[in-house]
Structure 1
């Protein structure tokens, strides 16, 4: 079984292999010479870290962000290793959208043309494609007679009617309404309704519901989960959703620092 140190060493070797296309820039940096004006790294103020990897320089040294966020690793867009990193982050973070995936990757890597690569990856992902597919509208046949003919007065329906009538009497009683109003007042709860069948009025919470459904559909599909599996998955989805950025993430700004709803621990 591989140790943590062995995995880290293999990761560094793979990234160094991917950065061989920056060999000329690395040589100039090693000799403390300025980069050529035509170099694609010249605007990123690149530095060479202690493990020999090229990283973005930037102006965030005095921030309290993790080192990987302040100085992400530079990677070309055409290398196979870059593609494998994007695919790994896509599945590990439960098939996020383009913007969320871009922010997750940017916490550790600066990939040239990353947004277009991620957009292509998400577009070609089978799970994501199936969830984007529109439901086909088949021509419906006539309803069967048993569903439109008055008949089936079963005892279970009679019992259900009796239970609903008792519930209605309880809800409409003044004593129940008085106790409910007092309890809500004590807890500082005030009902604020939106129009029926109009989730777009919901704003932030409806957007969060949509985000959770997106991950649920793409991960679960038609699989039936146990209660423990569902609780575990919901906890993972909660971590992903709460790690989204609070503002738009630029593709080239070196002064950008990520702002999140809450932080999630990450380890190399």
Structure 2
């Protein structure tokens, strides 16, 4: 061992060992190769036992044939090939081996004591070790003589002879990986298992009183699993690295420049920093293996189910997984939590319009939708009060009627409905949101209609009554017919209300003007051609004309249809409905969204689904 500190150099002998030649005669190159194997084993023992950081390792031999065997890539016979494999298995590659002249090789003193005058050279080594590397023996003159070349080629495998040899891997029993669903639990269990095996092999007086594992035990367990996984998938590559130091060009690991370090295949990085050896030389792992899947799962959960690039980047700090992108993406698709966070509602094809939206030649507000919006603040005296607006819309003609209520209780709702029915007539059916105020009003409305049957409503109309129905809970899109008009009314109020807190009279007047504006909106295309007919509006059905301007109507006095005043309204209504059927209803045929069912999943019994609740956070949605 050579220790250099500043300008001082100290060389000392640490460990030595020699063996007697076997009774079966062997060639000298084979005996020298056996000495190289012994030297490699001694260095490995010293590195494991001494708590001293070794910066570099060098081997010296005077056998040029052994150096040639170490450097060759050709197939060797079983005897030489297996011993070369043992040397490289210990992590001692070709670059560590050097040639030394026989007259400087102090190792010969173990078998040739008369070769050196004193034992001092045996203890301190040759003198060139104390000098700079430039003064070490020249390695360029290492060339085989004719006789050495013959011995060198004698150990190659004949082309016609097939010899099979394997480097036996020490088989270690590991836990069944299929029983584990967590990577950290697998490593901890393995570490506890082997720590217990070590303790059970100790004498009783050396057994520790407290049983625990440390970081070193965890690292040993990881290395055992690395070797196990690589031997399962990369058996040929491991054998090739042990024997020749390289892998075949056809191997999947060829582009990774693999090296074998302590029995683990690592990618040889271009940056060699001793402080970050594991980062610069990451472990190579196969794809589609249980161990790799557990490792990906651990990184996936540790990174809070982040995107693909984040997980791959963190994995590459210590591992090189084959087809890592597809493996991480595949796990993300099976992760239950990721599927919950990224789930999208199944969108069905836009359904057919209900008959109440497409039935012509009916009275206005025969089919009515009702909704609330607000509150709006008004000034009563000097105190601010809240007011709400009830919106009634005709499902067929899209006309609007607005009423103001002072509260959201059932009585206020009933008063607004009575005012609406007094002005627009009794509807055949009312459709509303599933609110508590409408649920209570449904019972009183039946009583109200029953009372009106005797006094005001004809017998044929009162027999049908008013049908009140609610849209399904949690399905606000069923009320899109009136929700869109609520937005239009709010936009009109924002443009007309200048006072922040108007009086009740100002608010009621503004709502009437907004109602007139909404009912004057065109339902059909507005043409730029002045010769085209006027676009269809809801006021054409309610008033027989648009209400933004006054003009006279000229009727034929000879026409039977215009002799009675009540016939005028019938003429206007017929005009409206004919134009409604010819221009407006065709525009309702086309599906504006969700044109087909290709993205809709046909649910069946026992399917796992997530129930969307807009009142809860996505992570709190129920799964059923």
Does residue 5 of the first structure (1) align with residue 216 of the second (2)? yes
CA, structure 1 residues 43+128, in 2 after alignment: closer, same or farther (shift >3 Å)?
same
Q: Secondary structure at the match of 1:120?
A: helix
The answer as to whether partners of 2:267 and 2:283 remain within 8 angstroms in 1 is: yes
Of the structure 1 ranges 83-92 and 3-12, higher mean CA displacement relative to structure 2 is found in 3-12
Q: Structure 1 residues 97 and 53 mapped into 2: Cα distance closer, same or farther (>3 Å)?
A: same
Shift of 1:30: 1.7
State the distance in 1 between where 2:229 and 2:254 align.
19
Q: Which contiguous aligned blocks of 4+ residues in structure 1 show a shift greater than 3 angstroms?
A: 135-139, 141-148
2:283 maps to what in 1?
73
Q: Give, in whole Å, the separation in 1 of the partners of 2:308 and 2:217.
A: 32
Shift of 1:2: 3.1
Query: What's the CA shift for 1:4?
Result: 2.1
Matched, 1:91 2:301: yes
Q: More strand by proportion, 1 or 2?
A: 2
Shift in CA distance, 6/33, structure 1 to aligned 2, threshold 3 Å: closer
Q: Secondary structure at the match of 2:234?
A: helix
1:233 aligns with: none
TM-score, normalised to structure 2, is: 0.23
- Report the CA distance between 1:137 and its aligned residue: 8.0
* 1:114 paired residue among 318, 324, 336: 324
Mapped partners of 2:272, 2:315: distance in 1 = 20
Which of 338, 341, 349 aligns to 1:128? It is: 338
| Cα deviations by residue, 1:170-201 (Å, 9 ceiling, x for unpaired) | xxxxxxxxxxxxxxxxxxxxxxxxxxxxxxxx
Residue 49 of structure 1 deviates from its aligned partner by 1.8
Show the counterpart of 2:251.
39
Tell me by how many angstroms 1:54 deviates: 0.7
Could you say which residue in structure 1 is the equivalent of 2:546? none
Count of matched residue pairs:
156
* Residues 26 and 142 (structure 1), Cα distance of their counterparts in 2 relative to 1, 3 Å cut: farther
Cα distance between partner residues in 1 of 2:307 and 2:277: 25
Alignment of 1:195-214 (within 5 A): none
> Which residue pairs with 2:620 in the alignment?
222
Cα offset for 1:103? 0.7
Q: Quote how far apart the aligned CAs of 1:129 are.
A: 1.3
Report how far residue 93 of structure 1 moved.
1.3
SS of the residue corresponding to residue 246 of structure 2 reads coil
Cα distance change, pair 34–47 in 1 and its aligned pair in 2 (3 A): closer
For 1:49, the equivalent position in structure 2 comes to: 261
User: Partners of 2:370 and 2:261 in 1: how far apart?
Assistant: 71
Secondary structure of the structure 2 residue equivalent to 1:2: coil
Q: Output one character per residue of 1:19-59: Cα deviation in whole Å (capped at 9) or x when no partner.
A: 11212212222223432121111111111223x21100131
CA distance in 1, matches of 2:346, 2:370: 18
1:19 is aligned to 2:417: no
TM-score (ref. length: structure 1): 0.50
**Structure with the greater relative contact order (CA < 8 A, sep ≥ 6): 1 or 2?**
1
Cα distance in structure 2, aligned partners of 1:136 and 1:36: 51
Counterpart CA distance in 1 for 2:347 and 2:249 is 57
Residue 311 of structure 2: which of 91, 95, 101 is its match? Answer: 101
Q: 1:142 to 1:112 in 2, by over 3 A?
A: farther
CA RMSD of aligned residues (A): 3.3
Tell me what 2:242 maps to: 30
Distance 2:370 2:328 in 1: 46
Q: 1:42 to 1:142 in 2, by over 3 A?
A: farther
Larger radius of gyration: 2
Q: Which deviations, in whole Å up to 9, do the C-alpha atoms of 1:230-258 show, x marking residues without a partner?
A: xxxxxxxxxxxxxxxxxxxxxxxxxxxxx
Matched residues in 1 for 2:300 and 2:280: separation?
A: 22
Answer with 21-30 or 39-48: which moved more. Answer: 21-30
| Contact 2:288 2:327 survives alignment (8 Å) | no
Q: CA contact under 8 A between 2:272 and 2:280: conserved in structure 1?
A: yes
Choose between structure 1 and 2: higher helix proportion. 1
Relative to structure 1, the CA distance from residue 129 to residue 65 in structure 2 (aligned partners, 3 Å threshold; closer, same or farther) is farther
Distance (Å, rounded) in 1 between the aligned partners of 2:373 and 2:255: 73
Q: CA deviation at 1:222?
A: 3.2
Q: Aligned partners of 2:297, 2:245: CA distance in 1, in Å?
A: 36
Q: Which residue of 2 aligns with 1:155?
A: none
Using the alignment, how far apart are the partners of 1:143 and 1:18 within structure 2? Answer: 66
1:257 alignment counterpart? none
- Name structure 2 gaps, 5 residues minimum: 1-211, 351-368, 376-387, 390-403, 408-499, 501-617
